[in-house]
Amino acid sequence: MTKKATCLSAASLALLCLFAFPGTALGQGQTWAGTSLAEMIESARWRAGALRFNASLNLSNVGYDTDVYYGYLEEPTPDFTLTGRVPFQALLPLSKKIVLEVNESPEYMFYLETEKERAWNNVFSGRIHFALEKLYVQAGGMLSNVRHRMGPEFDVNVREKFDRLDGRFFGRHPGAPLSPRSMSSPIRLY
Q: Mean per-residue pLDDT for 76-86?
A: 94
At 174, the pLDDT band (50, 70, 90 cuts) reads low
Query: Does residue 173 register a pLDDT over 90?
Result: no
Residue 30 has pLDDT above 60, yes or no: no
Query: Taking a C-beta distance cutoff of 8 angstroms, is the pair 21, 90 a contact?
Result: no
Q: Is residue 2 part of a domain?
A: no
Mean pLDDT lowest among 41-45, 69-73, 145-149, 156-160 = 69-73
Tell me the C-alpha distance between 10 and 111, whole Å: 49
Number of domains, the chain: 1
Check: CB of residue 171 under 8 Å from CB of residue 149: no
Closest residue by Cα to residue 146 from 111, 118, 120: 120
Answer yes or no: is pLDDT of 149 > 80. Answer: no
Q: Is 37 helix (H, G, I), strand (E, B) or coil?
A: helix
At residue 80, does pLDDT exceed 60?
A: yes
Q: Is residue 142 part of a domain?
A: yes
User: Which range marks the domain in which residue 127 is found?
Assistant: 11-188
pLDDT at residue 142 greater than cutoff 80: yes
Residue 180 main-chain phi, psi, to 5 deg = -70, -15
Residue 1 lies in a domain: no
> Residue 3: inside a domain, yes or no?
no
pTM of the complete model: 0.70
DSSP 134-148: SEEEEEEEEEEEEEE
